[in-house]
Copies of this chain bind each other. A is one copy, B any other.
Amino acid sequence: MLPMKSRYALKALVFLARHQADGPVPVAGIANAEAIPTKFLEAILLELRNAGILTSRRGPTGGYQLRVEPKTVFLGDVIRNLSGPMAPLPCLSKSAYHRCAECVDEATCAVRLLMADVHAATLRIVDGTTLAELVARVDAAATGGAEGQSQRCRPAEGPANNDFDFID
């Protein structure tokens, strides 16, 4: 499960990308629009600011706004900053690697071999998509309707087979 922190952060960033021209937006404004607990969002935006993604201004007419262009914000970095590394196994994390206690031989660990692929696939998506691309995709989903649903952030690799119907 993607933690609420990261979910709220992504929503707020999309919102801020939309309102780039409006100058600083106060926390309460975003919280109301996106149905996010205000105080919680406050802490989240602070972290995004410390991560260099947002700038803030205090006092009346203050608020938060994007510090950098949406096309330079990689969503993987957003998630990582707020919720830490997303490796499915400690031995697959580069930033927080540590050996699995129970692992007899890491090189031939079946779990690791499997999850390495999952991890790589996840990273390819979240680190291969920018905030700008995500906003564009939301727009496509809103205006395009059905055609927005089948659209992807990146052109699908290989044969475009959306024909799997797995359960979860």
Interface residues of A (CB under 8 A from B): 1-2, 7-8, 10-11, 14, 34-36, 75-76, 80, 85-90, 93-96, 100-104, 107-111, 113-115, 117-118, 120-129, 134-135, 137-138, 141-142, 149, 152-153, 157-159, 164, 166-168
Contacts and interface: CB of A to CB of B under 8 A. Distances in A.
A168 B93 contact: yes
A2 B56 CA distance: 37
Number of copies: 2
19 contacts: A1-B90, A2-B88, A2-B89, A10-B111, A34-B102, A35-B103, A80-B168, A96-B168, A108-B141, A110-B135, A110-B137, A113-B134, A113-B141, A114-B126, A118-B125, A121-B125, A122-B122, A123-B164, A157-B158
Given A114-B125, A138-B108, A36 B168 contact: no
B123 A168 contact: yes
A45 to B, nearest CB: 16
Contact of A11 (B87, B110, B118, B126): B110
Contacts of A142: 107-108
A127 B166 contact: yes
B134 A114 contact: yes
B125 A95 contact: no
A78 to B, nearest CB: 10
A10 B87 contact: no
Contacts of A164: 120, 123-124, 127-128
A122 B127 contact: no
A36 B102 contact: yes
